[in-house]
Amino acid sequence: MQRVKKIFRLIHLFVWTLFTFLVGLQLRTDDQSYWLPLTTGFMLTALYVFYSHFYLLTKYSGQKKRKEYFLKLAAIFFTGPFPFVILHPKTSGTWDLFLGYYPVTLLTMVPIFLFLGWLARVTETLVLNTIRKEQLEKQAAETELHYLKSQINPHFLFNTLNNIHTLVYKQAPTAPEAVLRLASLMRYMIYESNAPTVPLTREINYLQDYIGLQQLRYKNSPVVDLTIHGSPETCEIAPLLFIHLLENAYKHSPARLEPGAIKVRVEIKANSLTFQIQNPIGSNQKKMEVEEPGGIGLANVQKRLQLQYPEQHRLEIQNTGETFGVNLEINGTHAHVHERETQLLHH
C-alpha cells in the first residue's frame, strides 16, 4: 500500500512540474515582461485550490460533517484567487483592476482546480480501495486454502496410532514401517505442503503412505489398486489435492473390502494430469441422496480446484448406486510450466 501511495506522489510531482513548465512557456510567449510573476501567481492559486480541496476531501471522507466541509470549501473558493491576483503585476495599487481580475479568476481557475482536486482524490481513493479489497481477498484465499488443506480426517490419525500401538504390543515386524509411514505423512502435511505446488512424485508417495497406514485395518491383500501411467517427475501439483478423494473412497466403502476394490489411476500426459478413483458403495451409503456420497472430501476438492485451477480443470462424478467414481483432469501441470502462485494471489 505504501508503494502505491509513493507512486501517486511521484505522479503528482511529475504532473505539476510539467504543468508549471507549460504554463510558464505559454505566458512567456504572451508577455515577455511579466511572465515570471504571472506564472508564480497562477501556479500558487492552482496548487492552493487543488490541494486544499484534495486534503479537505481526505479529512472528511466517509464522515457526516457536511456543514463543516461546505464552510471550508466556501473559504477555499473565495480565497483561491488571492495568490494570482496579488502577484499579478497589473493589479499593483489599482483597486479597479483588482476587482476586475478577482471575479474572472474566481469563476474560471478556481472551479477547474476544485474539480481536479476532487477528481484526483476520488481516483486515488478508488485505486487504494480496490487494492485493499484485493489484498483482503488474497488473505481470505490464503486462509481458505490453508483451512482446506488441513481438513484431513483427524480420526484417521487416532485410528492409525491405535493400530500402531497394537502392532508394537504384538511386536509385529511391520510396526517400524508403520511408524516411518506415519512420520513421513505428518512431515509432508506440516512442512512440505505449504508450497503452492509440489512434485507429483511427492504427492504420490504421500498417497502411498496413507494407503499403507489404512491397510493396517485390513487382513486381505492391498485393497487399493494404484496404477501410474506416464512420468510423474515431469509434473507439479497443488499439495494435498488428491488425499480427500482417497479418504472419501475409504469412508464410503463397505467395512470389508476385497483386494483391489478401490481403484486409483494416475495418468500423466504432455501438459495435463488425470486422476481417477472408484470405490464400491457401502450398504449404509445406498440409502443416502445421490449427491451425498461425495461428502466433505469432494466439496473440499471442488473449492480448491476453483481457487487454484480456474478454467483449467474438469471434474466428473459418477454414481451408479453400486460404485462411486471421480474423474479429475487438470491442465498446465508440467513442471516447467506450472511454477506459479495460486491464481487468486495474483488478482
Whether residue 75 lies inside any domain: the answer is: yes
The pLDDT score that the predictor gives to residue 291 is 40
Whether 88 and 226 share a structural domain:
no
pLDDT in tens, 130-168: 888 877 777 676 666 666 666 665 666 777 788 888 888
Q: Which residues contact 119 (CB under 8 A, 6 or more apart)?
A: none
Q: Which one of 138, 164, 189 terminates a domain?
A: 138
Q: What is the pLDDT of residue 15?
A: 94
User: Residue 144: inside a domain, yes or no?
Assistant: no
Q: Which of 138, 171, 192 represents a domain boundary (last residue)?
A: 138
**Contact partners, residue 330, CB within 8 Å, separation at least 6:** 237, 272, 273, 274, 275, 305, 309, 312, 313
Q: Are residues 265 and 207 in the same domain?
A: yes
For Cα atoms 203, 205, 208, give the angle at the middle one, nearest 5 degrees. Answer: 115
User: In terms of domains, do 334 and 243 share one?
Assistant: yes
Q: What is the model's pLDDT at position 190?
A: 80
Q: What is the pLDDT of residues 281-317, one digit of tens each?
A: 876 555 444 444 445 568 878 888 888 888 899 999 9
Identify the residue whose cell numbers are 462424478.
317
Task: Record the cell numbers describing residue 167, joined without a space.
Answer: 502392532
- The pLDDT score that the predictor gives to residue 274 is 94
Q: Which residues of 134-156 are buried (b: 16+ CB within 10 A; e: fewer)?
A: eeeebeebeeebeebbebbbeeb
Report residues of the chain scoring pLDDT below 70: 31-32, 61-64, 90-99, 139, 141-156, 283-297, 335-347
Q: Name the nearest CA neighbour of 313 among 272, 255, 261.
A: 272
* Residue 202 identity (one-letter amino acid): R
pLDDT score recorded for residue 342: 40
104 and 157 belong to one structural domain: no
Amino acid at 277: I
| CA–CA dist 347, 343 (Å, integer) | 7
Asked if residue 168 and residue 34 are part of one domain, the reply reads no
Q: What is the DSSP letter of 311?
A: T
> Is 9 part of any domain?
yes
Planar angle of CA 41, 46, 52, nearest 5 degrees: 120
Residue in this structure with the C-alpha cell 499579478, named with its chain if needed: 88
Say whether both 162 and 242 belong to one domain: yes
Residue 341 and residue 198 share a domain? yes
- Can you say whether the dihedral through the CA atoms of 196, 201, 206, 211 is positive or negative? positive
Domain boundary among 90, 111, 138: 138
Q: Is there a single domain that holds both residue 83 and residue 210?
A: no
Largest CA distance in the chain: 111
The vertex-120 CA angle with 118 and 121, nearest 5°, equals 65
> 163: closest CA among 215, 205, 107?
215
| Cell numbers linked to 90 | 497589473
- State the cell numbers at 339: 511454477
Q: Does residue 222 form part of some domain? A: yes
Number of domains in the chain: 2
Do 8 and 92 have their domain in common?
yes
Is residue 129 assigned to a domain? yes
258 within some domain: yes
Cα–Cα distance between 204 and 197 in angstroms, integer? 13
Range list of β-strands (E), the chain: 198-199, 224-229, 236-237, 262-268, 272-280, 313-319, 323-331
Mark whether 102 and 179 lie in a shared domain.
no
Q: Supply the range of the domain harboring residue 83.
A: 2-138
Q: Does 199 fall in a domain?
A: yes
Question: Which amino acid does the sequence have at 126?
Answer: L
Query: The dihedral of CA 189, 192, 195, 201: what is its sign?
Result: negative
Task: Answer whether 205's CB lies under 8 Å from 177's CB.
Answer: no
The reported pLDDT for the residue numbered 241 is 85
Residues 6+ apart with CB under 8 A from 1: 128, 131, 132, 135
Residues 179 and 232 in one domain: yes
Classify residue 143: in a domain, yes or no: no
Q: Is the pTM of this model over 0.75?
A: no
Same domain, 155 and 121: no
- Residue 212 near residue 237, CB atoms below 8 Å: no
